Every structure is written in C-alpha cells, then in structure tokens.
C-alpha cells in the first residue's frame, strides 16, 4: 500500500513573462529618532509559472516585504520608495477596491502566523467559504462543498466534520493547513506562502509540496515560498533568493545555489543545517553575531560585521548584485565572491 510519489512531471511552461516585478522597494519604520530602513531597495521578480524560494535570517524583512506588496503593513511602517507590479499593474498605486479584488483572489496569501490571521470566533468552514463567495461568486452551498474539498486536499482528516471547528479546536499543524487551503482557495495566479509548513511533519510537508507543484503544473501558478527549510524546497523551486538585512544578497537557480553557494552568508546558512548523520550534542555551526537592526546598518556591506572574509573595502562600499559566469543567472552581492569568479 505504499506509494512512490513525486516523479517530477514536465517542467511548467515558463514563458519568461514577468508576473510579479518588485523594483527598488524600500520600507521604513517611524521611530522616536526618525525613520529607519527595514527593507532597502529590494528587487524581486517571478515569472509566470515560476517558483521562487526566499530564505534569510529571522528578522531580515521577508514577511514585511510580502505584506507591503499587498499593502497590509502595520501602523508606523511604510513603503517609501519603489514599486511592486503584478501582471503589469503597480499594486502600490491601485485603488483600494481593485486591490481587494486581487488580494485573496488572483493573489493567494498564506500568512506566517495562523493564530493572528484566522478569526478565533468564526468556524473554519466559513472562513474558507468567504473568499470563494466574494472572488468566485459561488453560492453558500457550493462554497461549503468546495471548502470541504480543500480541507481534504491539505490532508485534514475527517474534513467535513472539521468544517465546523473553531481554530482553537485544531492542532497547530491543522491550523496552518487551513491557512494553506485559504491561500489556494481561488486557484490564484500567484501564491505567496510565508513559512507555510513550519508546524507540519515531514509526510504532510511532502504532501503540501506535491499539492503546490501539482497546481503550478496544472494551472501555471507562480509561487513565492518563504522558508528557512532549504531541504524542503530543494525539489520544488526553480530559483532561490537569499535575503540579508532587507536586501537580496544572492539570486541563483536552485541547482547552482546548492552546488556553488557564493555569498558568505549563504555558505553559513548551508553549514548550519543539521544532518541526519550528525552525532548527538556536537555543536552545530551557527553564524556568530546578530544582523543589524533597522536604523543601525553598517556603512558598507550589511554582512561585513559578521563576515569571516570581510576586507577593508567591505566596510566602505555596498556591493551590488552582479551576475556570475556566462549567462549571469547566478547573481551575488559580495566583492570577494565576484573577484573569485572573475579570476577563475
């Protein structure tokens, strides 16, 4: 009764057509001492049918970047520069009513914190049905039926019975899967998933990854998947962006990133992953120091205070994201990595 799954279907048709194009997005926060930069002119793009993985240190601005695109930033935090284009339209300039139509419809969102984004006093079936009624014009009965199917798709046992549960009656992983079901409900063109599987065990993680792959291949859905679990997304994503202190420090096709991680921060991240073969209690390697706080960025490369390879120039100038190799598809923002490659 065991089933081998996960033979990769034909890769989705990538048209090279930009679906999401974020340019120079800068996010600042009001503090007592004036505005402080959290996200510093970030550039991101996702093509139609493409899956982009985003990794980066806790607190580096992953969630705020995604929230800002949908104009869901909390008080005191604002986009001060840049644009975020979805299917050719700038989300920052769209009218509120147009934006509401996109949000939860053509752009599905899976938030990081289920407990804060699920309504605690509303049954989950109703929370799943709402976007279907609003965006896809379903009747209540149709929406309830579809809600049950969605819960089943994300592997919640006894799905029909669980439609009537309140969020607190579900386990942590079930709540997270309700969020995933809501994000996928309307068959979005773009799915933005912020740490969507942190509470799920490996078997269900694999099932969710397969589900997303499936939708991507069938519907040509594009995906932005924020995670710290590089192993999990290794077989899912086409490209990975590594964020540090609110900027992209490395952008590479997934194979290139694992084969040849070039930014010292990326190298540190990969070295910190515990292996199944490790001995117990060996100390895990971790990157010393802490990332800069908003408003306290160092002058040059933001990673310089923690970088084992830092040189004089790193404390003076900010490295820009430059393509390596012939096709330039592997880009890195690091003086040393760029020089190494030029020499090679």
Partner 1 sequence: MGAQPLMRIENLVKHFHVRLGAFGERAATVHALDDVNFDILEGETLSLVGESGCGKSTTGFTLLNLHRATEGKVIYQGKNIVELDEKAMRPYRRQLQIVFQDPYSTLNPRMTIGEAVGEPILFHKLATKAELKDRIATLLADVGLPPRFASRYPHELSGGQRQRVAIARALACQPKFIVCDEAISALDVSVQAQIINLLLDLQQKYGLTYLFIAHDLAVVRHISDRVGVMYLGRLAELATREELFEHPLHPYTKALLSAVPEADPAHERSRQRQILQGDVPSPLSPPSGCRFHTRCPIAMEICGKVVPEWREARAGHMVACHAVTEGLPG
Ligand X SMILES: Nc1ncnc2c1ncn2[C@@H]1O[C@H](COP(=O)(O)OP(=O)(O)OP(=O)(O)O)[C@@H](O)[C@H]1O
Taking CB under 6 A as the binding criterion, the range among 52-60, 129-137, 231-239, 315-323 that sits at the site for ligand X is 52-60
Measured from the CB atom, the residue of 63 and 187 that comes closer to Mg ion is 63
Is the C-alpha dihedral spanning 191, 194, 199, 200 positive or negative?
positive
Q: Kindly list the distances between the CA atom of residue 36 and the CA atoms of 27, 32, 291, 335, in Å, as whole numbers in the listed order.
A: 9, 10, 15, 26
Strands 239-244 and 51-56: parallel
Taking CB under 8 A as the binding criterion, the range among 18-26, 91-99, 224-232, 317-325 that sits at the site for partner 1 is 224-232
193: which 2 tokens? 């998933």
Minimum CB separation of residue 264 from ligand SF4 in Å reads: 5
Largest CA distance in the chain: 66
Q: Which of 63, 117, 198, 260 binds Mg ion (CB under 5 A)?
A: 63
Task: Please give the size of the binding site for Mg ion, defined by CB under 5 A.
Answer: 4
Minimum CB separation of residue 90 from partner 1 in Å reads: 26
* C-alpha 200: how far from chain center: 17
Give, as ranges, the residues between 111 and 130 that touch Mg ion (CB under 5 A): 112
Question: Residue numbers of the site for ligand SF4 (CB under 6 A)?
Answer: 263-264, 301, 303-304, 307, 309-311, 314, 319, 334-336
The candidate with the shortest Cα–Cα distance to 51, out of 211, 190, 238, 187, is 238
Measured from the CB atom, the residue of 205 and 262 that comes closer to ligand SF4 is 262
Q: Please say whether the beta carbons of 60 and 246 come within 8 A.
A: yes
Q: Please say whether the beta carbons of 79 and 92 come within 8 A.
A: yes
Measured from the CB atom, the residue of 29 and 186 that comes closer to ligand X is 29
In DSSP terms, 240 is beta-bridged to 53, 252
Q: Please say whether the beta carbons of 47 and 222 come within 8 A.
A: yes
* Residue 170 lies near ligand X (rule: CB under 6 A): yes
Task: Please give the size of the binding site for partner 1, defined by CB under 8 A.
Answer: 78
* Residue 240 lies near ligand X (rule: CB under 6 A): no
Judged by the rule CB under 6 A, the positions of this chain that interact with ligand X are 29, 38, 56, 58-64, 74, 77, 112, 168-174, 199, 294
């Amino acid at each position: 009764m065991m089933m081998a799954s996960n033979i990769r279907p034909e890769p989705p048709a990538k048209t090279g057509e930009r679906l999401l194009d974020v340019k120079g997005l800068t996010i600042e926060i009001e503090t007592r001492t004036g505005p402080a930069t959290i996200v510093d002119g970030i550039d991101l793009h996702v093509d139609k049918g493409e899956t982009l993985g985003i990794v980066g240190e806790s607190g580096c601005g992953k969630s705020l970047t995604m929230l800002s695109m949908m104009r869901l930033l909390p008080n005191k935090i604002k986009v001060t520069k840049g644009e975020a284009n979805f299917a050719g339209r700038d989300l920052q300039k769209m009218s509120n009513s147009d934006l509401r139509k996109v949000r939860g419809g053509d752009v599905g969102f899976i938030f990081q914190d289920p407990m804060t984004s699920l309504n605690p006093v509303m049954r989950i079936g109703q929370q799943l049905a709402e976007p279907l009624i609003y965006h896809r014009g379903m009747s209540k009965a149709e929406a309830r039926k579809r809600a049950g199917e969605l819960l089943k798709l994300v592997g919640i046992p006894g799905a029909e019975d669980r439609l009537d549960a309140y969020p607190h009656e579900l386990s942590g992983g079930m709540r997270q899967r309700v969020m995933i079901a809501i994000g996928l409900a309307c068959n979005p063109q773009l799915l933005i998933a912020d740490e969507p599987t942190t509470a799920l065990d490996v078997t269900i993680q694999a099932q969710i990854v397969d589900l997303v792959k499936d939708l991507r291949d069938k519907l040509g859905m594009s995906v932005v998947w924020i995670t710290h679990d590089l192993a999990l997304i290794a077989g899912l994503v086409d490209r990975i962006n590594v964020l540090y202190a609110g900027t992209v420090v490395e952008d590479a096709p997934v194979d290139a990133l694992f084969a040849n991680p070039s930014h010292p921060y990326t190298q540190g991240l990969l070295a910190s992953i515990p292996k199944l073969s490790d001995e117990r209690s060996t100390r895990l390697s971790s990157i010393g120091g802490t990332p800069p706080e908003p408003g306290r960025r160092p002058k040059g490369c933001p990673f310089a205070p923690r970088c084992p390879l830092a040189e004089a120039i790193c404390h003076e100038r900010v490295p820009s994201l430059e393509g390596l190799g012939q096709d330039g598809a592997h880009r890195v923002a690091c003086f040393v990595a760029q020089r190494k490659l030029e020499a090679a």
